[in-house]
Amino acid sequence: MDAEKPVPDDWRLSDELWEVLRELLPERKNTHRFGGGRPPAPDRVCMEAILFVLRTGCQWKALDATRFCPGSTAHDRFQQWVQAGVFLTMWQTSLEAFDELDGLDWSWLSMDGCMTKAPLGGEKDREKPNRSRQARRQAKPAGGGSRNSSRRGSGRS
């Protein structure tokens, strides 16, 4: 029987790319009050998990079922790195590298956006109804009138 070929791991960062990215990450400080605590998840694994979420669009909690770190760890690290400007710096560095490699045509730029009112969005500062939520959820009677109409007793016999 043929030896099984290993499944390629497309989610792993190459060593060359990781060396570049590692330089952009802030130095981690131990915030444990006694200087100890559980060792943190490796930055490389967290970065791979974050890029996995950004690329696939899966939920952070879905990382718990993968080979990456737990979703809460990846999300916490993502928030820390966003605050530190890591992803903005990554984007700027990538643009500069691509510009050197292939060249960007900076003379032609385009921006797309749309600022319109959402359909059925309603008015922003409209008055709030003063009836209870319960009354709004009740179905309307078939005749369009109120349930306590003067036609009492006119139903089927």
pLDDT at 76: 92
pLDDT at 79: 94
Q: How many angstroms separate the CA atoms of 60 and 52, rounded?
A: 10
- What is the rounded end-to-end Cα distance, in angstroms, of the chain? 81
pLDDT at 124: 64
CA distances from 27 to 16, 39, 99, 131 (A): 20, 15, 28, 56
The residue written with tokens 């981690």 in the block is: 28
Convert the pLDDT of each residue in 50-79 to its tens digit: 999 988 888 988 888 888 888 899 999 999
Convert the pLDDT of each residue in 84-124 to its tens digit: 999 999 998 888 888 888 877 777 777 777 766 666 666 66
CB distance 55 to 48 below 8 Å: no
Q: Where are the domains of the chain?
A: 42-104
